[in-house]
Amino acid sequence: MQRLGWGGHFGGLAARLDGAFGADGAFAHDRLRFVDFVDDVEELLEEVARRERGDEEAADGFEEYVLRHYAG
C-alpha cells in the first residue's frame, strides 16, 4: 500500500485487525466471526473511499460480495 501512495490511509489497520489471523496466517474463527471481520474491513474501505473520492459509496457491495463468495 505504501508503494501505491496509500500508506497513510492504513496507519491503524494492523491494530484494528489484530487477532483476526493466527500465526499461520489462517483466519481465527475461534476469536472473531467472519461476518464481523468482513464488516470491519468494509468500514475501513469506506473510510478510504471517503478520503480519496469524497464518497463512501465506492465501497458498497464489498461485504455482500465477500460473504456471498467466501462465507459459504
pTM: 0.65
Contact assessment for residue 12 and residue 48, using Cβ atoms and an 8 Å cutoff: no
Residue 72's SS3 state is coil
**All residues at 6 or more sequence positions from 31 whose CB lies less than 8 Å from its CB, including other chains:** 19, 20
Contacts of 46 (CB under 8 A, 6+ apart): 56, 59
pLDDT in tens, 11-59: 666 666 777 888 888 888 888 888 888 888 888 888 877 877 777 777 7
* Spans of all domains in the chain: 1-30, 31-71
